[in-house]
A and B are shown apart, each in its own frame.
Chain A
Amino acid sequence: MPDADYAIKIDDLTMEFPGTVAVDHLSFDVKPGEIYGLVGPDGAGKTTTMRMLAGVLTPSSGSAIVAGFDVVSDPERVKHHISYMSQRFGLYEDLTVNENIRFYAGIFGVSSSDRERRASTLLQAAGMSPFGKRLAGKLSGGMKQKLGLICALIHTPQVILLDEPTNGVDPVSRRDFWRILYSLLAENVAILISTSYLDEAERCHRVALLHQGRLLYSDTPAELKKKISGDIVAVISPESRRLRDLLRGSQGLLNLVLVGDGLHLMVDDASRRVPELRARIESANLPIERIAEVAPTIEDLFVQAVEKEGARTGSG
């Protein structure tokens, strides 16, 4: 690799389709041994970015170097040095789990001894060892997704691109998924994974938060949370709707969301506002079970960034 510091390096990457800019001057880099997340809602440009990095879509402008090769001038060599799992990864439903793995190992030119060793490790990590002889078409949704991942990982490229691999997968299978990804880092691969589940950002080393083709932030999850200006306070109460009406417009209140068993408030300073809010609730004789500061989430940051930008999100 010419530049060993980076497994992926993109600068001002842009993709325009008629009437829309799907990816808008995106720049970031991914290092070997790192799991980097492309995190954002549908339409944020995640899949388009992945496809450009996989060498299957030519960018309108900007550059991207993947595993040492330029995706614009050398897309074929890029394809040989990566593993790319698209959202519609093709499993053969009428082949068994083992047959699917053997098929992909053949395509990627993996030797049979490597294949057996790797397949058995991956199947075990996925909790799928007992299902080798089951037809892929008979697997549950979560297992199908895991088999797709196993097939994509049966060879050991330096760069792995995974486009929303956990979409529609239940939390138990999702944990298996992440366990497999972490186990690969020992081989110093770089993993770029996209997700629309904002809470999955927490599992990446670094993330790019994307919205409408643009980069909102790129950093570690811990650093991202420090960027939130304000504290989050959770209130648990059976009277959440009445509480909301009471607290609207309170001093220092930046944002208010109704959740299942109460409210989430964003305030300028929790240590100062919690006692004030509590007093206000108690003097109105409304019941509360708990009011306390809680850790902010990536979603809180996302909402703040989008509102600050005044971006159009269909909010009328």
Chain B
Amino acid sequence: MLVRDLVKRFGDFVAVDHVSLEARPGEIFGFLGPNGAGKSTTIRILCGLLRPTSGEAMVAGLDVARRPEAVRQKIGYMSQKFSLYNDLKVMENIRFFAGMYSVPEAAMAERADWVLEMAGLRGRESALTGTLATGWKQRLALGCAVLHRPSILFLDEPTSGVDPVSRRQFWELIHRMAADGVTVFVTTHYMDEAEYCGRLVLIYRGKVVASGSPSELKSGATKGELLLIECEPLGRALDALQTAPGVLDAAIFGSAIHVVVPNAKEAITGLTKYLSGHQVTVSKIEPISPTLEDVFVALTTRQAEPGEAKKVL
């Protein structure tokens, strides 16, 4: 998949602003961004559902603006709602999606067999889909989305709300498909899901603001360093820290506060003193490594315009 200078305007509003991306076969590509950042618009363009205003998008070797129909035959799509028919049997769902994706009759039996095997649904061909446990349903939806052997698979928050055991099994399947050369394109708000992606691209206000592997983003992308502070009372400490000198961001994590500062080691003494001046008792203050969520928040708020960023910057 190759995207160059993609732009989509709706009237005066620029939903996608010169986005360029490149994903290799077998890559698991995570696409992150706040609500309204331009993620869904980009994906609708890549799926051939929406024409770009300008720029170029090649999906599986096809130009999406010129050959949207052909593109749709090369991609698979699975949303968080799974879009299965609950009142159809497992096998009926498989046949329905095979028809939709024009899987040739001759290949049908082999493909159906593959889905049943992959999803662990052998022996349950006649079960009503609605009665399946979430984990099975999810793997059936995945199977239905790839019946036609797409070279690119789009997943929209695929494991949101799914129990962690099923989620790990699901990602195991995704990694297997990627090993077979399928490019997997994941959109999510869920930082736990983002951890499973090989490369992450963060989009904000229509623009790509960062990209890299999860570990690269964690080590390089936050503006400063992170301190964990355990103290009492928490509410007063948070209020005080929002306006403390040198503090770039402060957020509550359970019984602790994460604070972004330019230099964690140097800030410890000053912040301890500052907090005790605000009648806050500090029981623990130590440097920690950032989570993907810290990265996400740091990068999106850094991009915000100065007037809007008052709370966090």
Contacts and interface: CB of A to CB of B under 8 A. Distances in A.
B197 interface: yes
B214 A175 contact: no
B5 interface: no
B136 interface: yes
Contact of B297 (A41, A171, A198): A171
A306 B198 contact: no
B165 A183 contact: no
Contacts of A127: 308, 311
Interface in A144-185: 167-173, 175-176, 178-179, 182-183, 185
Interface in B183-217: 189-192, 194-200, 213-216
A260 B35 contact: no
A61 B197 CA distance: 45
A186 interface: yes
Interface residues of B, number: 60
A202 interface: yes
A156 B175 CA distance: 49
Interface string A217-242: 00011100000000000001000010
Nearest to B213: A261
B215 A168 contact: no
Given A313-B163, A315-B135, A198 B192 contact: yes
B286 interface: no
Interface in A17-44: 40-44
B189 A306 contact: no
B33 A172 contact: no
A172 B34 contact: yes
Interface of A (DSSP majority class):
mixed
B4 to A, nearest CB: 25
Interface in A237-271: 241, 257-262
A182 B138 CA distance: 35
B179 interface: yes
Contacts, number: 156
Contacts of B132: 314
A307 interface: yes
Interface string B88-121: 0000000000000000000000000000000011
B305 to A, nearest CB: 12
A185 to B, nearest CB: 6
A20 to B, nearest CB: 10
B161 A42 contact: yes
A199 interface: yes
B21 interface: no
B154 interface: no
A140 interface: yes
Contacts of A299: 164, 192
A42 B171 CA distance: 18
A170 B164 contact: no
A69 interface: no
Interface stretch (A77-85, A110-118, A203-211): A203-211
B238 A313 contact: no
Nearest to A220: B255
B254 interface: yes
A205 B254 contact: yes
B235 interface: yes
B70 interface: no
A303 B166 CA distance: 9
Contacts of A178: 251-252
Given A171-B191, A171-B293, A316-B120, A259 B196 contact: yes
B243 interface: no
Contacts of A282: none
Contacts of A260: 28, 30, 194-200, 213-214
Interface of A: 40-44, 127, 140-142, 167-173, 175-176, 178-179, 182-183, 185-186, 196-199, 201-205, 211, 220-222, 236, 241, 257-262, 289-290, 299, 302-303, 306-307, 312-316
Given A171-B296, A178-B251, A197-B192, 9 more contacts: A41-B134, A170-B34, A203-B253, A205-B255, A257-B171, A259-B214, A260-B28, A313-B165, A314-B135
20 contacts: A41-B163, A42-B163, A127-B311, A140-B34, A168-B35, A168-B160, A169-B35, A171-B297, A173-B34, A179-B238, A186-B235, A203-B254, A222-B254, A258-B196, A260-B198, A307-B165, A313-B135, A314-B134, A314-B137, A315-B166
The 10 closest A-B pairs by CB, nearest first: A314-B135, A316-B120, A314-B133, A41-B163, A170-B34, A42-B161, A314-B136, A261-B213, A196-B161, A140-B36
